[in-house]
Amino acid sequence: MAIIILFFIYGLAFGSFCNVVISRTRSEEKLFLSQSHCPKCKKDIGWKDNIPVISFLILRGKCRNCHKKISWQYPLVEIATAIIFTLIGYFYTIGSIDNLLVAVLYSFVFACLMVVFVYDVKYMEIPMHAMWLAIGLLVVINIVNDISGGSLQGDFWHSTTFTHSLSALVAFCFFFGLSYISDETWMGYGDAFLAIAIGLLLGPMATFLALMVAFCVGALVGMGLVVAKGKTMKTAIPFGPFLIFGLLVIFVVLNLYPTFMDNFI
Ligand SMILES: [Zn+2]
């Protein structure tokens, strides 16, 4: 149980870091060199006012210096990251901590995807530094899983490294094709890189399911926006967040019900 609480706190801290990465990627600031500051008045934020979620509540969502509102993005990203990290801790470290390394690597992957998710919602662009880091980590995770499962000495063609890489390649080609044919009006090339991450993480059939979830939820939300906000079908909405949502849903389902995919084969 203690390790789950640790994963939660570690998720809050990482969520806070994700917020910094998102704002500094946009403003092209150095990631580590300067202290956190208020985006409105630029005044440095002391450590007391920089505690995830808690400071937001104490300050009632306003900057201590200029009293301007602090975006809800900050506590929401912190809580969402903490919940995802807690789930990963629960899936991979309950009962035995043999998979602790994989759990930590997965948490880094989802932190990267959190940055991609929020950045794409806000700026309609996929930050490639976070995307490449996620893809690199997923390749490492697949190799670690194969080594610890002993499958690399056996049949390479059935190893996670090979089957998941192949899924990633197929998913990438599909999305790259959609972007190319539509001249990036249906999908962006960034979405093709997200498809690589989905393939590497989920493997053959589950990748397909995650994409189905993304398309269905994307269509529903798109129609909802047309009805509620009078947007036209032509108003572009970023697709990346739906891909990440689909990935997360299937990742959670597969960890809760390891035999889930048997229903589809
Ligand atoms: Zn301020």
Can you give the pLDDT at residue 36?
86
Q: Which of 97, 130, 158 is the last residue of a domain?
A: 97
Centroid of ligand 1 to alpha carbon of 116 (angstroms): 26
Do residue 71 and residue 14 come from a single domain?
Answer: yes
Give the pLDDT confidence score for residue 230 in this predicted structure: 73
Structural domain including 253 reads 115-265
Domains held by the chain: number:
2
Kindly state whether residue 147 falls inside one of the protein's structural domains: yes
| Same domain, yes or no: 93 and 128 | no
153 plus 256 within the same structural domain: yes
Q: Retrieve residue 231's tokens.
A: 């947007």
Residues 212, 218: Cα–Cα separation, whole Å = 10
Among 37, 67, 97, give the residue marking a domain's end: 97
pLDDT at 256 over 90: yes
- Establish if 103 belongs to a structural domain: no
- Would residue 130 count as lying in a domain? yes
CA distance 262 to 78: 35
CA distance linking residue 82 with residue 86, whole number of Å: 6
Q: Is 217 domain-assigned?
A: yes
Under the banding of pLDDT at 50, 70 and 90, the label for residue 177 is very high
In terms of domains, do 253 and 142 share one?
Answer: yes
Domain boundary among 97, 127, 158: 97
Confidence (pLDDT) at 260: 87
In a domain, 76, yes or no: yes
pLDDT tens digits along 193-247: 999 999 999 999 999 999 999 999 999 998 888 888 776 655 668 899 999 999 9
DSSP 37-68: B-TTT--B--GGGGSTTHHHHHTTTB-TTT-P
Whether residue 70 is found in the same domain as residue 122: no
DSSP code per residue over 161-182: HHHHHHHHHHHHHHHHHHHHHT
**CA 142 to centroid of ligand 1, rounded, Å:** 44
Q: Tell me if 105 is assigned to some domain.
A: no
Tell me, in angstroms, the distance from the centre of ligand 1 to residue 38's CA: 5
Both 147 and 254 in one domain: the answer is yes
**In whole angstroms, what is the distance from residue 178 CA to residue 180 CA?**
5
Q: Is the pLDDT of residue 62 over 90?
A: yes
Mean pLDDT, residues 242-258: 96
Length of the chain: 265
Does residue 188 carry a pLDDT above 70? Answer: yes
Q: Are residues 15 and 131 in the same domain?
A: no
Please tell me the distance from the alpha carbon of residue 211 to that of residue 220, in angstroms, as a whole number: 14
For the stretch 121-172, pLDDT in tens is 999 999 999 999 999 999 999 999 999 877 666 788 889 999 999 999 999 9
DSSP 261: G
pTM, full prediction: 0.93
pLDDT, position 27: 86
Are residue 241 and residue 139 in the same domain, yes or no?
A: yes
Task: Determine the pLDDT at residue 233.
Answer: 58
For residue 229, the CA-to-ligand 1 centroid distance in Å is 31
Do 62 and 119 fall within a single domain? no
Whether 106 is in a domain gets the answer: no
Pair (157, 253) in one structural domain: yes
Q: pLDDT value at position 228?
A: 83
Residues 147 and 221 reside in one and the same domain: yes
Ligand 1 center–CA 50 separation, angstroms = 13
What is the pLDDT of the chain when averaged over all its residues? 91
Q: Does 12 share its domain with 137?
A: no
pLDDT tens per residue, range 6-43:
999 999 999 999 999 999 998 888 887 778 889 889 89
pLDDT at 229: 77
Give distance in angstroms: CA of 62 to centre of ligand 1. 8
Q: Which residues are CB-neighbours of 15 under 8 A, at least 6 positions away? A: 52, 77, 78, 79, 80, 81, 82, 111, 114
**What per-residue confidence (pLDDT) applies to 152?**
66
- Ligand 1 centre and the CA of 71: distance in Å? 11
110 within some domain: no
Q: How far apart are CA 113 and CA 120, in angstroms?
A: 10
